[in-house]
Every structure is written in C-alpha cells, then in structure tokens.
C-alpha cells in the first residue's frame, strides 16, 4: 500500500498560522497519526476482542495493517467511483 497523502491522509491534522510577507499561510504543524494507523488500531481492537488466533503481537499487528490497507483501497475506489461523483454533484447542487 502506498502512503500517498491523498490515500493515507493525516487522521488528525493540526494547522499552524504562519505569516510570511504579511500574508497568512496555513501549514500542517503536526500531521499526527495517519489514517492507515487509525484503521489498523481499530482492526487490532476488533481482532483482540474477537479472540482471533492472530492476536499475538507480530501476527495481530500484521493482520491489522492488512485490514487497514484493504480499507484504504476500498476508500480509494469509492472516492473515484461514479456513485461518489453523483453524491458530490448532488451536494454541490443543493448549495
């Protein structure tokens, strides 16, 4: 799984106000955990709660990131799907 920002964005980005040449710039001050990390943490919680045979540290972590990668791939496919485009167009038309 690639870590391109568009597909694995920061989960909780924080903006910093900086001034350069008397213009306000908004930059990421702290990226925080990635969306992949958050998805993996949630998957690991589920694996542990279900008593998965993969709940030992190495196997559980690996399995959790496999789930996270699958979730990111599904997210990528949905974002670029025709259905997503239709929903976005309908929301824009309401404005």
Domain contains 76: yes
- Summarize pLDDT for 37-59 with one digit per residue, the tens: 999 999 999 988 888 665 567 78
Please say whether the beta carbons of 8 and 35 come within 8 A.
yes
In a domain, 85, yes or no: yes
Number of domains present in the structure of the chain: 1
Q: Is residue 54 part of a domain?
A: yes
Residue 2 falls inside a structural domain:
no
Tens of pLDDT, residue by residue over 64-94, are 999 999 999 998 888 778 888 888 888 888 8
Query: Domain residues for 66?
Result: 34-94
């Amino acid at each position: 799984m690639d870590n391109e920002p568009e597909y694995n964005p920061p989960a909780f980005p924080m903006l910093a106000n900086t001034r350069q040449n008397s213009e306000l710039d908004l930059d990421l001050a702290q990226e925080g955990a990635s969306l992949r990390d958050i998805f993996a943490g949630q998957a690991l919680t589920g694996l542990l709660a279900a008593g998965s045979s993969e709940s030992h540290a190495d196997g559980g972590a690996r399995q959790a990131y496999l789930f996270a990668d699958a979730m990111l791939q599904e997210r990528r496919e949905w974002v670029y799907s025709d259905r997503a485009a239709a929903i976005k167009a309908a929301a824009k038309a309401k404005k």
